[in-house]
Amino acid sequence: MSKLRVQSFAISIDGYGAGPNQDLQNPLGVRGPELMEWFFHTRVWRKMHGHDDGETGVDNGIAEQGFAGIGAWILGRNMFGPVRGPWPDDSWKGWWGDEPPYHTPVFVLTHHPRAPLRMAGGTEFRFVTEGIHAALEQATAAAGGRDVRLGGGVSTIRQYLRAALIDELHLAIRPVLLGSGEHLLNDIDMRALGYECAKYVAGERATHVFLRKRRMTRRDRSVAMMPRLHRR
């Protein structure tokens, strides 16, 4: 059965998945690239950019695993680009140039319709205006029995977490403090939603924590749906 997986999502020690003031010059926010330093040195990353070098240790191996068995992706609109509001035209085609690294259908959450966009290498961006459940349904169908990878950003992952739709969540925890930005787990009761830590692994530049959704009881689901102030 197809799973919804978050892979290689980096956060700071204080829980931020992006820095403040995201824009065209700072797509990850101010100091956001510090979160991805574990990935930038890997052979996986270097290969994406046409290089034949890079580290091949624990971090690289985990990054490679994140691409295995993926048949479709889901992205929040900010992960596709900095454009806000209605699309002014079709000139923006993503952060990655003519050949993005996805090589599968990619479902982009947005409030504004746009025609599908085919890119080199098998990537096709499809824009979904009906919400997170519709995007997951479409991505699962397109994945053809393989898993769906949820790429982010923070707001999108939070929406899927609150709905308890994510099956596996890999967090790469970086030894940095951002102090502000977009916090991933603030006010989300992961335990009540049915998540548990499956394992953790020390990499060269990050500690990798793997969460998974356990089978929820009826009481678990009831507690997860209750407002926090009413829980006992």
pTM given for the model: 0.91
Write down the pLDDT at residue 157: 98
- Closest-CA residue to 9 (of 133, 106, 150, 205): 150
Comparison of pLDDT for 115 and 225, the residue scoring more: 115
Write down the pLDDT at residue 230: 47
On the CB side of 180, CA atoms within 13 Å amount to: 5
pLDDT in tens, 43-69: 999 999 889 999 999 999 999 999 999
- Residue 158 CA: distances (Å) to CA of 24, 44, 161, 168, 202: 23, 26, 5, 14, 25
Mean pLDDT of the chain: 93
Band of residue 227 on the pLDDT scale cut at 50, 70, 90: low
Q: How far is CA 228 from the centre of its chain?
A: 25
- Closest-CA residue to 11 (of 218, 196, 222, 178): 178
Report the top-level CATH class of 4-86+96-230. alpha beta
pLDDT in tens, 164-198: 999 999 999 999 999 999 999 999 999 999 999 99
Burial class (CB in 10 A: 0-12, 13-18, 19+), 31: buried
pLDDT in tens, 78-95: 999 998 899 999 999 999
CA distance 31 to 181: 10
Write down the pLDDT at residue 1: 86
